[in-house]
Amino acid sequence: MKLTQACKLLALLLLLGGIVHHSDAAPAPDLEDQTRAISAELRCVVCQNLSVADSPSEMAQQMRAIVREQVQAGKSPDQIKDFFVSKYGEWVLLKPRTTGFSALLWILPYVVLVLGVLAALWLVHRWTLKKNTVQPSSAPALLAGETRAELLQGEIEEVDLEDTSARAQLLREHARLRGELAELDFDFQSEKLSESDYTALKQEIAAKGVNIVNRLAATPAEPPKTATQAKKRDVPSSARPQFRRWQIVAGGVFLLVFGLALGVMLTRSVRERDSEGGTITGDFMTGSTPPAARAALAEGKQAFSKQDFPKAIEAFKKVLADDPNNPEAHTYMGYILIQAGHGDGALMAFDKALSQAPNFPMALWGKGMVLYQDKKDYAGARQVLEQLLSLIPAGEERNEVIKVLATIPTTGGATTPSAAPEKGSASPSSSAQISGKITIDAKLKGSIDPNAALFIIARPATGGGGPPLAVKKIDRPTFPVDYTLSQENVMMQGTPFTGKINLTVRLDKDGNPVTRTPGDMTGEYKKNPVEVGTKNVDVVIDQATE
Amino acid sequence: MPIRRVIITLLIIGPLLALLAYGFTRDSHYIVSPLLAKPATPFTLALYDGRKLSLDNLRGKAVFLNFWASWCVPCREEARELEAAWQNIKETNMIFVGVAVQDTDQNALEFLKEFKITYPNGKDETAKIAVDYGTWGIPESFFIDPQGRITYKHVGAIRAALVVSKLAEAAKGIVSAQEGKGDYSAVK
């Protein structure tokens, strides 16, 4: 009867499966639908977690075009998927195949589930057998009835683990023998033991048991020392699992080691991806930067961007203590040294960075600018900046390097002082400044904090993060404020105040532009980005932080 | 009995931990190519000098096929190296072919001019050639033996010395056991 029902259920499932399969295989109504359906099963090689259908990347668009073309050519979905698999491997399929090695991905979870359930059932069965040691056994009656009854059915006194008296030891031995006997019965029932082995082993245990029972009878029982001991005595031993001491200790040690290993592994390795191509472990286990150095590097960069140079120096020193060749840390130290006016030290720092990473753009830029503006080594500066130029693709940054290169005299080393940075291209001049007026919106006028500081901030229009190009601070401003931003307000000494910038202003309540305090007010130039040299760059403060 | 249980526990947990550790070390973006030792897909490339180049016509020569873009920094890093390598081997029975992907004509031509590239270069406007070669990170370089079989693949910037040695291996039909890897940019 049960079999018939199972057959019916199977037939129903097959029928449903057939319907589903049939609906899958049905031709899509039009070309775009078919293209989308196939693309949805392919992984985008750029985004990787998106399908080719969903990814906005250029590569995905091109892959969709190829899919569309192949659909038009009359290829089946499987043929098209096979084509991409032949180029990128099985990886390209968002849904692994149910054949070959990939089938394991589908089957393995079910196998593990079934094995888990079987293991649980087996354990439960075994524990039940252990507890119920008086179960009728199919084993032959090998022991004298009295001994067997004494050994197996006799009530055992509960014994304190710390009790070291002779009686307690005998009781523990008694309990152990009961356990062994139960296991022996179980093994025999499971046909793991031959009858002759079973007989021999059981007789051996029985002999020991008789000895223990006799010795127990000769040892007087002592009254329980504590209430807890008395309470324990009331509980039948079979109601509680009987773990041996080594099992408890081994389990504890294992859990401790496993927990520590997992905790250490995860905290040391998992982190935010630092780039599009990065992994959640970065270079942990595979790379060079030690984890402590990585954390200190991030801390240093953050401090540097906030211009907290003492903190940044401390952090970069930590990085270099852990990873003496870290090019980024050397480079940032170089920039801090420029800021402090130590050109020689900066040059050494950049050289150290470049000895590890010869094409590190930040270090090349720093070295080039030191050679140009501090050392007046024009030939050297030109060489370094030309190397940098070869690495930068077309764009604003490249144009900046070209502009600086154009200002370097071609006559080499000891050139005229007029080419010095203070008076050269990067020097302040009437054209290398931005000026205008800052006003405040009428609705915010009543909320101005009399002790607030006004920050006028210029950031390169190319973006890219990092510190602003130039900042001017005006304490307790009276609006409207006339301002001029020029080379002297540049944050990084040696950086030319040129090109397009984004201008923003901030009226900061606590005078710290990094913190965001309720009541801070901001505004930006409405026609950002603006070219350095522009006049009448007027800004209205019209936003308030809540 | 206790030792047996400990061993069984370790046998179950050990592989799981090893799998976890292996997962942590992998670059999740890296795609292992199935193309090594397979025939190179034929293509016809529209060169920037107006001519056409067909891979089929290069049969009998060892080919160095390089996918690049002017916006890709590692491509710029290797550009001079590649031209230097080309200057060394251009008189031999080996040839370099450059394929610009996801680039504009103007930028690609400026790139070729800037690095004084003299070997044949063309554009893959529809990315068909790039997909045929399973490209995902550029620069990507393929070495093809005279019989038209891919012998080596390198993802990322490559040094001139490696180009020359792998091309010599390709000329002899020696297939490398695995791919090479350097700094790369993901395609856009």
State whether ipTM is beyond 0.95.
no
**What is d(CA B130, CA B126) in angstroms, rounded to the nearest whole number?**
9
Q: Is A489 in contact with A455 (CB distance < 8 Å)?
A: no
CA distance A444 to A542: 7
Taking Cα atoms as reference points, which of B92, B51, B73 lies closest to residue B137? Answer: B73
User: Higher pLDDT residue, B78 or A339?
Assistant: B78
Q: Give the CA count within 13 Å in the CB-facing half-sphere of B25.
A: 10
Residue A451 φ/ψ, nearest 5 degrees: -95, 5
Average of per-residue pLDDT across A221-250: 59
Inter-chain contact B24–A269, Cβ cutoff 8 Å?
A: yes
A364 touches A385 (CB < 8 A): yes
Mean pLDDT of B147-161: 92
Q: Both tokens of residue A348?
A: 């050494």
CA–CA dist B33, B175 (Å, integer): 14
| Class of residue A439 by CB neighbours under 10 A (exposed 0-12, middle 13-18, buried 19+) | middle
Measured between beta carbons, the chain A residues lying within 8 angstroms of B126 are 62, 65-66
How much is the pLDDT for A20? 39
CA atoms within 13 A on the CB side of A359: 12
Predicted local distance difference test score (pLDDT) of residue B95:
92
pLDDT tier at A12 (50, 70, 90 boundaries)? very low
CB-nearest partner of B188 from A57, A258, A394 = A57
The helix or strand, by DSSP H or E, that contains position A161, with its residue range, turns out to be: none
Sign of CA dihedral B50, B56, B57, B63: positive
Categorise residue A191: left if φ over 0, alpha if ψ from -120 to 50, beta otherwise: left
Residue A155's pLDDT band, with cuts at 50, 70 and 90, is low
Q: How far apart are CA B81 and CA B161, in angstroms?
A: 9
- For an interface test with B, give the residue of A123, A279, A399, A405 to mutate (most B CBs within 10 A): A279
B11 at interface of A, judged by CB pairs closer than 8 A:
no
Is the pLDDT score of A18 beyond 80? no
Residue A356 clears pLDDT 70, i.e. is over it: yes
Residue found by looking up tokens 């091109």 in the block: A62
Most confident segment among A435-444, A454-463, B28-37, B140-149 = B140-149
Confidence of residue A4 (pLDDT cuts 50, 70, 90): very low
Interface test with A, best of B179, B185, B188 (most A CBs within 10 A): B188
CA distance A468 to chain B (A): 25
Mean pLDDT of chain A, nearest integer: 76
Question: Can you give the pLDDT at residue A423?
Answer: 34
Partner A contacted by B71 (CB < 8 A) = yes
For position A141, what pLDDT does the model report? 43
Among A58, A279, A285, the residue with its CB nearest the CB of B102 is A58
**What's the pLDDT score for residue B2?**
67
* Between residues A288 and A444, the one the model is more confident about: A444
Instruction: Determine the 3-state secondary structure of A84 from DSSP.
Output: helix
pLDDT by residue (tens digit) across A487-538? 877 776 667 788 888 898 888 887 766 566 778 888 999 888 888 888 889 9
Position A243 scores a pLDDT of 66
| pLDDT at site A242 | 60
Name every chain A residue with its beta carbon within 8 A of the beta carbon of B25. 281, 285-286
Tell me chain A's radius of gyration from C-alpha atoms.
Answer: 40
Displacement of CA A64 from its chain's centroid (Å)? 31
Residues of chain B with Cβ-Cβ distance to A55 below 8 Å are none
Share of chain A above pLDDT 70, in %: 74
For A89-140, the pLDDT digits (tens) are 888 888 877 777 777 777 888 898 999 999 898 888 888 776 665 444 444 4
Distance from CA of A477 to the nearest CA of B (A): 45
Question: What is the token pair recorded at A30?
Answer: 């039009």
